[in-house]
Amino acid sequence: MISSAAASPDPSAADLIPEFWEERYQTGSTRWDLGQPAPTFIHLLSEMGATNRIAPGRAIILGCGRGHDALWFARHGFEVTGVDYAPSAIAAAQASASAAGLSAIFLQRDIFDLLPAYRSRFDYVIEHTCFCAIAPHLRDRYVDLVHQLLRPGGQFIGIFFTHQRPGGPPYGVTPQAVQQFFSRRFLIHHLGPAPRSPLQRQGEEHLGIFGHQENPN
């Protein structure tokens, strides 16, 4: 039995505008930023990739921040587009790509403005604390967005912050709620504790790998 979606208190949802995030980048208040790709994604490409049939393809990274994860996928042969609406994050991502000699596109854009231009364009939608960074009332819309960005048969790969503390961002979500939100449009291939989660996040992160369903019920 799947319990209903966690009802996070949402006091600051109206404040979640680009300026909110930009101010954090400018002041260095970016505790979410690991300064490297998520160890879960490192593990995913090195060890879990074959099992889950994750071959290089066209990928969009939503809420990409400074681009550490985007560039990890680019380094592994993915054709990457990173999207974030905080200008400083995008500038940092572009600078890192140049410094590393990696080819990736970084767009300073609200993820909810990607349609219709990017409809069905991607083999993968990837994220690391984007679903949990947006206001919780936008979660159904987010799932629809991910579905529409993917080509039929594409996959969503995401790391969710499954902490149970009130407030946010990041707004916690239970694995059961993740399953409930996404199973409306996706097949749940994998949903479990994130492997290689950083010490300070252990027990609070889940990895999801979901398959696009063309004609969901």
Ligand X SMILES: C[S@@+](CC[C@H](N)C(=O)[O-])C[C@H]1O[C@@H](n2cnc3c(N)ncnc32)[C@H](O)[C@@H]1O
From the CB of residue 158, how many other CB atoms can be counted at a distance below 10 Å?
A: 23
Q: Mark the segment that binds ligand X (CB under 6 A) among 82-90, 96-104, 117-125, 191-199.
A: 82-90
Among the listed residues 37, 60, 65, 145, the single contact to ligand X using CB under 6 A: 65
Q: How far is CA 189 from CA 7, 50, 56, in A?
A: 25, 14, 18
Closest to ligand X by CB, 161 or 210: 161
In the complex, least distance from residue 109 CB atom to ligand X, rounded to whole angstroms? 7
We find the least distance from the C-beta atom of residue 189 to ligand X, in angstroms, to be: 21
Stretch that binds ligand X, among 95-103, 104-112, 189-197, 201-209 (CB under 6 A): 104-112
Using the rule CB under 6 A, which residue among 88, 129, 162, 197 binds ligand X?
Answer: 129
Dihedral (CA of 188, 192, 198, 204) sign? positive
Q: How many residues bind ligand X (CB under 6 A)?
A: 20
Shorter beta-carbon distance to ligand X: residue 133 or 150: 133
Peptide bond into 169 cis (omega under 30): yes
Binding residue (CB under 6 A) for ligand X from 89, 126, 150, 194: 89
Closest alpha carbon to 170 in 142, 134, 146, 138: 134
Q: Residue holding tokens 């960074």?
A: 133
Asked if residue 130 binds ligand X (CB under 6 A), the reply is yes
The number of CA neighbours under 13 Å toward the Cβ of 184 is 16
Determine which residue in the list 45, 54, 86, 90 makes contact with ligand X, applying CB under 6 A. Answer: 86
Positive/negative CA dihedral, 138, 144, 147, 150: negative
> Which residues sit at the interface with ligand X, rule CB under 6 A?
21, 32-33, 63-65, 83-86, 89, 110-112, 128-130, 133-134, 170
